[in-house]
Amino acid sequence: MESQESPKNQESQEFSAKTVEEATKLALEKLGAKREDLEITVLKKGKSGILGLGAEEARISVRSVSAATTADVPKVARDILSELLEKMGVKASVEIVEPPLASMTPDSKVVALDITGDDLGILIGRRGQTLMSLQYLINLLVSHKTKARVPVMVDVEGYKRRRYEALQSLAERLADQVKSTKRAVTLEPMPANERRIIHLALSNDPEVTTQSVGAGEGRKVVIAPKGRETHPQTPRRATESDFRPESRERQA
C-alpha cells in the first residue's frame, strides 16, 4: 500500500496542555470523540520544568479517522468495485465474503470481496496479475475514500480462496517431507501473496523454517529443516504434481 497523505478532507486540529495525556483528554472532550476515532500525532512532548520554571506545553495534532468510516469499508469497497467493473464493461456482481482462513493471522483485519459472473478468467490474468492490479486500485480508492487502513482482498469466484487452501495443504505436505528426508525443498516461483500463505502455514511448525529466496518474478520459498546448516542450492524442486493434492491421493 502506498501511504500518500492527501491534505483534502483531513482537517487536523492542534491542542496543547501540560502533558500529552492532558492534551489528548482535552482533544477528546472538545471534539466529543473517542480515542479510537482519532489519530494523534505528538508535536511537542512538553517539559514539566522545576517549580514551573522552564516548563513547556505539550502539543498534539489530532485527525479524525472515525470508527464509522472503518465500519463502512466493506460497503464502500463493494460499491467502488462494482462501479469500476461496470465502467470496465464487465458484467458481474460483487459480494462481501469472509476472508479465507489460510490468509489470516490472528490479529489481521481484512475485508474480502468476491466477484461472480460469467467468463471472468480475464479478470484473473496470468498468475493472478490482473487480479492483483485490480486489488491494488481498489485498495487505493477505498483508502482515499474512507481514510481507513483496512486492507481489501479482491477475489474472483473464489480463485484465491482455492489457491490459498491448495497452497496451505501443499506447505504442510512438503513440510512433512522435509522433516523425514532432512532436506530442504524449494517451491516454484510465486507472487508475494502466495509466498505469504506458505510462510503463514508453517510459522508455527517448530521443525522447519521457511525463507524466500531469489528476486522479483523468480522469488520462491524454501522450506528447510530447522537446527542445522541447510544447502538451498541442492533441494529437490517441487514438481507440478505437488500442486495437485487430488492426484497424489489417488496414487496413494
Partner 1 sequence: MITTNFVEQSSLINDQLGGRMKEVVEYVAQFIVNSPDKVKVTEENSPEGVLLRLEVDPDDKGRVIGKQGRVAQAMRTVLRVAAAKKGTRVQLEII
Determine the size of the site formed for partner 1 (CB under 8 A): 24
Find the binding residues for partner 1 in span 35-94 (CB under 8 A).
Answer: 83-84, 87-90
Q: Which of 10, 133, 181, 241 binds partner 1 (CB under 8 A)?
A: 133
Enumerate long-range contacts of 106-111, CB under 8 Å, 24 or more apart.
Answer: 108/151, 109/150, 109/151, 110/150, 110/151, 110/152, 110/153, 111/73, 111/74, 111/77, 111/150, 111/151, 111/152, 111/153
Cβ closest to partner 1, residue 102 vs residue 115: 115
Kindly list the distances between the CA atom of residue 64 and the CA atoms of 39, 59, 67, 77, 229, in Å, as whole numbers in the listed order. 6, 17, 9, 20, 51
> Which of 128-136, 159-167, 174-182, 225-233 is the region at the interface with partner 1 (rule: CB under 8 A)?
128-136
Contact status, residue 221 vs residue 211, Cβ threshold 8 Å: yes
Cβ closest to partner 1, residue 6 vs residue 105: 6
> Which of 13-21, 66-74, 136-144, 146-154 is the region at the interface with partner 1 (rule: CB under 8 A)?
136-144
6 binds partner 1 (CB under 8 A): yes
Residues that bind partner 1 (CB under 8 A): 2, 4, 6-8, 83-84, 87-90, 122-123, 125, 129-130, 133-134, 136-137, 140-141, 144-145
